Chains A and B, each alone.
Chain A
Amino acid sequence: EPEVTQTPSHQVTQMGQEVILRCVPISNHLYFYWYRQILGQKVEFLVSFYNNEISEKSEIFDDQFSVERPDGSNFTLKIRSTKLEDSAMYFCASSPQGMRGTEAFFGQGTRLTVV
């Protein structure tokens, strides 16, 4: 069964460093998303991406964050200068037709720890 894959599963980084979280969405999906979940809290929307551009972003997704689909298969989330509060589980998701009426498929997540 097709699945969304994320790498790495766990990343530890120094505060102020740049990190890139990688995702391979399901191949025929057109909509891509990043969510995050701070430990013990709810899953929060970060950004949605369609047709090679951001379609919506949340207040969390400030200038320190960027997304890219560099080669037609990978979908990356970059955090330019990490802060302690960026420590969270980051989930990538993809959907064939957007989230209206179709399920979203989530990856297993990348646990980011900023020290």
Chain B
Amino acid sequence: SQQGEEDPQALSIQEGENATMNCSYKTSINNLQWYRQNSGRGLVHLILIRSNEREKHSGRLRVTLDTSKKSSSLLITASRAADTASYFCATDAIQGAQKLVFGQGTRLTINP
């Protein structure tokens, strides 16, 4: 299975702290993407990191990718209450059809 699996399943921190979420996957990938989902809403694309990249930044987001360990992490710095959401990693395998396979997600709660 290509699935990405996030860790932890739930994370609760204080506003202003950093939040780190991890994702592991099983097969070789072309890219890995992170999405955010507010409760009951759609999926918002956050960042895409290609298999030949090791780190990428976007605003308060920092994503790392370790293809040797088949893992990625998403760091949100200086968290805000509005960051409360579920975060999913999604992978696109090198072989096979073009589709994203999502993990179970991490439910992040930022406490004011």
Indicate whether B33 reaches chain A with its CB closer than 8 angstroms. yes
Indicate whether B48 reaches chain A with its CB closer than 8 angstroms. yes
Indicate whether B69 reaches chain A with its CB closer than 8 angstroms. no
Number of residue pairs spanning A and B whose beta carbons lie under 8 angstroms apart: 65
Total B residues in contact with A, Cβ cutoff 8 Å? 25
Which chain A residue lies CB-closest to B50?
A101
When the two chains form their complex, are residues A111 and B40 in contact, meaning their CB atoms are under 8 A apart?
yes
When the two chains form their complex, are residues A103 and B42 in contact, meaning their CB atoms are under 8 A apart?
no
Question: Could you say which residues of chain B place their CB within 8 Å of the CB of A31?
Answer: 98
Indicate whether A109 reaches chain B with its CB closer than 8 angstroms. yes
When the two chains form their complex, are residues B102 and A43 in contact, meaning their CB atoms are under 8 A apart?
yes
Indicate whether B77 reaches chain A with its CB closer than 8 angstroms. no
Which chain B residues have a beta carbon within 8 Å of chain A's beta carbons?
A: 30-31, 33, 35, 40-45, 48, 50, 88, 90, 92, 96-105
